[in-house]
């Protein structure tokens, strides 16, 4: 490709709203352009790199028996109503009416469509197991798109679906994906870790996320360096410090003027925060049949802990959760800052599982300026739900080895789910077993977002001058810079490399050497050749790897051979990073 024919152009400045390096560089280098909030156009360079990522995905999916299909992005809502997700998923689902006034859905995933295909195509156990996948557009109306391609509303995803006769078959396909996903990320030269995660709206019995560890990530991970435990904070568990054993004491009302926070209360009464009960007020939207109802939630954890909203949502089986308004708190008989579970009306009380074993806590008295000492679960109040709803924090003890855990930030670049029969039972997607009995097909679901993966590779591979693409992802292998006097020789090298299957950019623009070199660094093509009158006088071409500062003079007659050899070495270097990963379902 000649740069004089490029549709996109480089920019000297990044957009004012760009916060992360990958967003800044992908825009400046002309890989992407924004159309709207969380909606991007892939420009020619971006499309070439995305195609390479997706070809890697196809290769790995095919290697474990995948068959590629292509499912629609628009779905009849009836499918989503059959599985009940039409009622369970909130505003992030794109809904509209067609011209016949029928409910329609913009795909945010394809479990329903696959289950519908299964009930039409699969009749016998002889047709299983199977693995199908596609690469297709998705829409999730995220209210907070950010960081360029890392968090968007419209995106392309490779999602695959395993179909089995039983859980043993699902285990096998899940394990195959577990390894295949590491292969994909390693072939893209992106370091990742797999962590156990929340199944969320997908449902099922088990899920793992593949995390690229970076400070720009929105996910928080807890991990133990001692035993290797790692989990998303959404579901991470920890060993909760046991409360001291003591006799249950009579409840006592005490004045606590101005002590509205746990820290203020603990200081005022000279007690540790672990001797207090922290109240969190939420309103949950819960599906009951086909109806949505709002319920006031009074959640309680010990004062030395925080409520984990994901755990709370799961305990409630809620569709959505929002903070309660002051007037809603007052309506159930509670007083903000001095709230207690004692004597509430029309509230669903949820307590952390450490609360029943924590005697004589300080809790609000539901009266301004007053608290109760010696509040005890079971005697003074009870809860509808007792569950682990506490958030793991840095320094908390690992659930496995008991050592303090550390915290890291990460971006989720892939996920895998054991769905079981959630969707196939709902849609009647059954097969006949060897005995002629009808049983639901067992499913797994596995996804990788192409754009987010590209952004994370860009986030990992760059310097102060621009992008530094791995050879496997780079839109082109070689960038030829023409300086004065090198025109004819550069064009000849360009043509010969193309004949040998090398992908080449030829900078034939009428620009200064400084502009051309800056753009070469910004675009990040792995190999740069500079052809000039000066180099040709020495019968040579300047050779430079983008990731290195060193420049070499290569004899003109050897340049094709050296480029091909170097390209193959860089490809092999990445392939060596692919290795068998240990699989521990507990982590």
> Taking the mean position of all CA atoms in its chain, how far away is CA 193?
12
Q: Which residues 6+ apart lie within 8 Å of 196 measured at CB?
A: 206, 207, 208, 230, 231, 232, 235, 586, 587
In contact, 162 and 196? CB cutoff 8 Å = no
Running DSSP on this structure, what letter comes out for residue 200? G
Tens-place pLDDT, residues 11-58: 999 888 888 999 999 999 999 999 999 999 999 999 999 999 999 999
Maximum pairwise Cα distance, the chain: 97
Do residues 206 and 418 touch, judged by C-beta distance below 8 A?
yes
**Rounded to an integer, what distance in angstroms lies between the CA atom of residue 388 and that of residue 352?**
5
Q: How many other C-beta atoms lie within 10 A of the C-beta of residue 68? A: 14
What CA dihedral angle connects 580, 581, 586 and 587, to 10 degrees? -170
- Alpha-carbon distance of 186 to 249, in angstroms, equals 59
At 587 the pLDDT is 53
Half-sphere CA count of 41, side-chain side, radius 13 A: 9
The Cα 511–Cα 519 span in angstroms is 11
- Residue 339 CB contacts under 8 Å (≥ 6 apart), including other chains: 279, 281, 298, 329, 364, 366
Residue with the two structure tokens 């301004």: 368
Q: Give me the residues of the chain with pLDDT under 70, please.
A: 200-204, 290, 584-587
Rounded distance between C-alpha atoms, residue 364 and residue 343, angstroms: 11
* String of DSSP letters for 415-463: EEEEEETHHHHHHT-EEE-TTS-EEEPEEEEEEEEHHHHHHHHHHHSEE
CB 219 within 8 A of CB 411: yes
Q: Which domains does the chain have, with CATH numbers?
A: 15-190+417-459 (3.30.930.10), 252-387 (3.90.960.10), 476-575 (3.40.50.800)
Q: Tokens 């924590």 identify what position? A: 358
Angle in degrees, CA 382, 237, 374, rounded to 5: 35
């Amino acid at each position: 490709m000649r740069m004089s024919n490029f549709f996109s152009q480089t920019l000297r400045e990044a957009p004012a709203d760009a916060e992360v390096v990958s967003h800044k560089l992908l825009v400046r280098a002309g890989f992407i352009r924004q159309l709207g909030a969380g909606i991007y156009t892939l420009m020619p360079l971006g499309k070439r790199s995305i195609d390479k990522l997706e070809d890697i995905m196809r290769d790995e999916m095919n290697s474990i028996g995948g068959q590629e299909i292509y499912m629609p992005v628009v779905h009849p809502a009836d499918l989503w109503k059959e599985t009940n997700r039409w009622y369970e998923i909130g505003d992030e689902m794109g809904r509209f009416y067609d011209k016949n006034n029928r409910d329609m859905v913009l795909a945010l995933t394809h479990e329903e469509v696959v289950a519908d295909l299964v009930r039409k195509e699969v009749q016998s156990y002889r047709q299983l197991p199977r693995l199908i996948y596609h690469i297709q557009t998705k829409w999730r109306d995220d209210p907070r798109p950010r960081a360029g391609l890392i968090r968007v509303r419209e995106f392309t995803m490779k999602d695959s679906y395993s179909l089995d006769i039983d859980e043993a078959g699902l285990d096998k396909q899940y394990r195959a994906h577990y390894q295949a996903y590491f292969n994909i990320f390693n072939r893209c030269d992106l370091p990742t870790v797999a962590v156990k995660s929340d199944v969320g709206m997908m449902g099922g019995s088990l899920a793992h996320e593949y995390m690229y560890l970076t400070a720009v990530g929105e996910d928080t991970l807890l991990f133990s360096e001692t035993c290797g435990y790692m989990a998303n904070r959404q579901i991470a568990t920890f060993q909760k410090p046991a409360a001291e054993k003591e006799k249950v004491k009579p409840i006592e009302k005490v004045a606590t003027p101005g002590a509205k926070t746990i820290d203020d209360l603990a200081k005022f009464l000279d007690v540790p925060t672990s001797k207090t009960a922290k109240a969190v007020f939420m309103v949950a939207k819960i599906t009951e049949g086909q109806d949505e109802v709002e319920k006031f939630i009074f959640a309680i954890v010990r004062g030395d802990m925080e409520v984990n909203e994901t755990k709370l949502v799961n305990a409630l089986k809620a569709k959505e959760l929002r903070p309660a308004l002051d007037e809603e708190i007052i309506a159930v008989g509670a007083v903000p800052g001095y709230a207690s579970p004692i004597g509430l009306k029309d509230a669903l009380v949820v307590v952390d599982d450490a609360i029943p074993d924590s005697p004589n806590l300080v809790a609000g008295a539901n009266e301004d300026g007053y608290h109760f000492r010696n509040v005890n679960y079971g005697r003074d109040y009870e809860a509808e739900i007792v569950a682990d709803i506490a958030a793991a924090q840095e320094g908390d003890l690992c659930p496995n080895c008991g050592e303090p855990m550390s915290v890291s930030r990460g971006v989720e670049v892939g996920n895998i789910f054991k769905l079981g029969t959630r969707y196939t039972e709902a849609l009647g997607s059954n097969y006949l077993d060897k005995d002629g009995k009808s049983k639901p097909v067992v499913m797994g679901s596995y996804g990788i977002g192409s754009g987010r993966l590209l952004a994370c590779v860009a986030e990992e591979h760059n310097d102060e001058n621009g992008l530094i693409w791995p050879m496997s992802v780079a839109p082109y292998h070689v960038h030829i810079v023409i300086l004065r006097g090198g025109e004819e020789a550069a064009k000849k090298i360009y043509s010969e490399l193309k004949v040998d299957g090398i992908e080449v950019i030829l900078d034939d623009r009428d620009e200064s050497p400084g502009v051309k070199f800056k753009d070469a660094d910004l675009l990040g093509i792995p190999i740069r050749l500079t052809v000039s009158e000066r180099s040709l006088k020495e019968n040579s071409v300047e050779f430079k790897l983008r990731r290195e500062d060193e420049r070499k003079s290569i004899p003109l007659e050897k340049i094709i051979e050296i480029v091909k050899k170097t390209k193959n070495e860089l490809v092999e270097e990445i392939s060596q990073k692919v290795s068998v990963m240990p699989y521990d379902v507990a982590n």
